[in-house]
Amino acid sequence: MKRNNKSVMNMVGLAAVVGLLVFSSLSFGEEAYDEGTYGPQAPIVWAKPVKGVVFVHKIHTMDAGLTCDNCHDKLFEMAAGTAEKNADFTMDSLYKGKYCGACHDGQMAFAANTRCTSCHAGVKGYNRLTGAAPQGKAPVKH
Amino acid sequence: MKIDDLEKLENEGAENLPSEERRRFLRFGLAVTGVFVGGSVLSLTSARKAQSDMGPVPATGAFPYKPHYTMVIRQNRCIDCERCLEACAKTNNVPSYGYRTTILQREREIERGAKERVFMPVLCNHCNRPPCVRVCPTTATYKDKKNGIVMMDYKRCIGCKTCMAACPYNARYFKEENRAIDKCNFCYDTRLSKGESKTACAAACPAGVRIFGDLTDYDSEAYKLIHMPDKVVWVLRPETGAMPNVFYMND
Ligand code: SF4
Ligand code: SF4
């Protein structure tokens, strides 16, 4: 009988701790994402000059502490998709410090000619993120 | 003597072991890696493993063909833009349901739970010991005697798909239009025989992933890349013994 009581008490204690953790993570940990402060939540997915290059605002603003005017409007216009209309939106420009290359220079952030797949999600990533049907992968009939 | 004690002994080196002794062990499939207690205790490993430890790149001069075509894949540069696949399909009339080359992807755990995506271009390895050629009942698929490209003679193919089953690399598909198996031939008919020096995929790649070349040309970029002393070079599924000619590395 005594043992039973004890285990019941333990359960209550455990529940209390779990409750506290959930509560505290809500109150301090997960700050709500505010699009006004941190930019659109949906990833920006470029298709030019190569398909499937992904930019996530949250990583750069909320996590890394940049503000809107660090990049807008000097490096990037506010309207999504403007940069990819430019003929100089290329890796070479990045190496010269334009666009993402302003920070991704190996000093402030990893250099633009390293860790390719951190930003390049490819055609597969493009299809996954935009919901486009993969091309040329129709079921094979034998 | 206990194993624990043996481990503490100093390896006296196998250099002074008579070669008859080494050969005797080789016959059992074992290679001597060390000598202890004046040669009375030997340390052995499987000869096959000792061979694979030398790496997948054949010794210079041991390339059986001339030219000996190869493709070096600098894997970490691939961004899955798939321009190579488009160029291949256009050049070689590849239908949408099949492929001669494709891009595989996987996710790899890196530091502190972060993930890295890896794209891996794959194509026919133009193996030195091609299982597909060995099993073909009509010799419709064959290894070219001069340049080593594993080719198809569509007219002879009866569509039995035995080669598809035999290929460890999934490099073949059945092309309805030809009623025959189709596969990568390093663009031999469409480009190389017309004087082009690169395959369509290699020419289209914007990231310098696919380096096509000739291993008997020691000045070629491909030869130099896979002989850099500080780089790890690998092939896919070396255990099958097919001896691929497509090499992988991270630049
Ligand atoms: S073209 Fe180059 S970078 Fe693009 S998917 Fe093919 S191998 Fe990868
Ligand atoms: S990769 Fe497959 S199809 Fe190509 S030579 Fe090797 S076994 Fe044959």
Which domains, from first to last, does chain B contain? 3-52 (no CATH), 69-249 (3.30.70.20)
Q: Is the pLDDT of residue B59 over 90?
A: no
Tell me which residue in A117, A121, A123 faces B82 most closely, judged by beta carbons: A123
Q: Do A116 and B207 touch (CB under 8 A)?
A: yes
Query: How does the average pLDDT of chain B come out, rounded?
Result: 90
Q: Do A120 and B80 touch (CB under 8 A)?
A: yes
- Which is higher by pLDDT, B135 or B50? B135
Q: What is the pLDDT, as a whole number, of residue A24?
A: 46
Q: pLDDT tens digit string along B161-190?
A: 999 999 999 999 999 999 999 999 999 999
Q: Does the CB atom of residue B196 touch ligand 1 within 6 A?
A: no
Q: Do A122 and B103 touch (CB under 8 A)?
A: yes
Vertex B142 angle, CA B101 and B54, to 5°: 70
Q: How far is the CA of B179 from the centre of ligand 1 (A)?
A: 29
Q: Is the pLDDT of residue B110 over 80?
A: yes
Q: What is the pLDDT, as a whole number, of residue B242?
A: 94
> What's the DSSP call for residue A120?
B
Whole-prediction pTM value? 0.77
Q: What is the mean pLDDT of residues B37-46?
A: 76
Q: What is the pLDDT, as a whole number, of residue B48?
A: 56
Residue nearest to atom 8 of ligand 1 (CA): B78
Domain-wise residue ranges, chain A: 1-30, 35-130
Tell me which residue in A116, A122, A142 faces B174 most closely, judged by beta carbons: A142
Q: What is the mean pLDDT of residues B142-155?
A: 97
Q: Regarding the domain delimited by A35-130, which CATH topology (the fold level of the hierarchy) does it fall under?
A: Cytochrome C3 (3.90.10)
Q: Is the pLDDT of residue B149 over 80?
A: yes
Tell me which residue in B77, B80, B89 faces A123 most closely, judged by beta carbons: B80
Q: How confident is the model at residue B232 (pLDDT cuts 50, 70, 90)?
A: very high
Residue nearest to atom 1 of ligand 1 (CA): B205
Strands (DSSP E) contained in A56-112 are: none
Q: Is the pLDDT of residue B15 over 90?
A: no
Considering chain B, what percentage of its residues have pLDDT values greater than 90?
A: 69
* Residues of A with Cβ-Cβ distance to B117 under 8 angstroms: 117, 121-122, 125
Q: Supply B246's token pair.
A: 């497509």
Q: What is the mean pLDDT of residues B191-201?
A: 97
Choice among B59-68, B128-137, B239-248 with the minimum mean pLDDT: B59-68
Q: What is the pLDDT, as a whole number, of residue B1?
A: 64
User: Smallest CA–CA separation between A9 and chain B, in Å?
Assistant: 36
The label of the residue with tokens 């598909």 reads B173
The answer to whether residues A101 and A27 touch, using CB atoms and an 8 Å cutoff, is no
Q: How confident is the model at residue B58 (pLDDT cuts 50, 70, 90)?
A: confident
Instruction: In whole angstroms, give the CA distance from residue B218 to residue B67.
Output: 11
**CB neighbours of residue B229 within 10 Å:** 4
Q: Is the pLDDT of residue B4 over 90?
A: no
- What's the distance, CA A90 to chain centroid? 21
Q: What is the pLDDT, as a whole number, of residue A44?
A: 95
Ligand nearest to the CA of B134: 2
What number of C-beta contacts closer than 8 Å exist between A and B? 62
Say if the ipTM goes beyond 0.85.
no
Instruction: In whole angstroms, give the CA distance from residue B251 to residue B248.
Output: 9
Instruction: In whole angstroms, give the CA distance from residue B14 to residue B50.
Output: 14
Ligand nearest to the CA of B126: 2
Q: Supply B50's token pair.
A: 């000792």
- Which pairs with CB-CB distance under 8 Å and at least 24 residues apart come from B236-239? B236/B122, B236/B125, B236/B169, B237/B168, B237/B169, B238/B52, B238/B56
Q: Would you call B249 helix, strand, or coil by DSSP?
A: strand
Q: What is the mean pLDDT of residues B92-97?
A: 97
Q: What is the pLDDT, as a whole number, of residue A17?
A: 47
The answer to whether residues B126 and B245 touch, using CB atoms and an 8 Å cutoff, is yes
Q: Is the pLDDT of residue B138 over 60?
A: yes
| Closest Cα in chain B to A54 | B79
Q: Does the CB atom of residue B125 touch ligand 2 within 6 A?
A: yes
Per-residue pLDDT of chain A (142 residues), as tens digits, is: 444 555 544 544 444 444 444 444 444 556 789 999 999 999 999 999 999 999 999 999 999 999 999 999 999 999 988 999 999 999 999 999 999 999 999 999 999 999 999 999 999 999 999 988 776 554 444 4
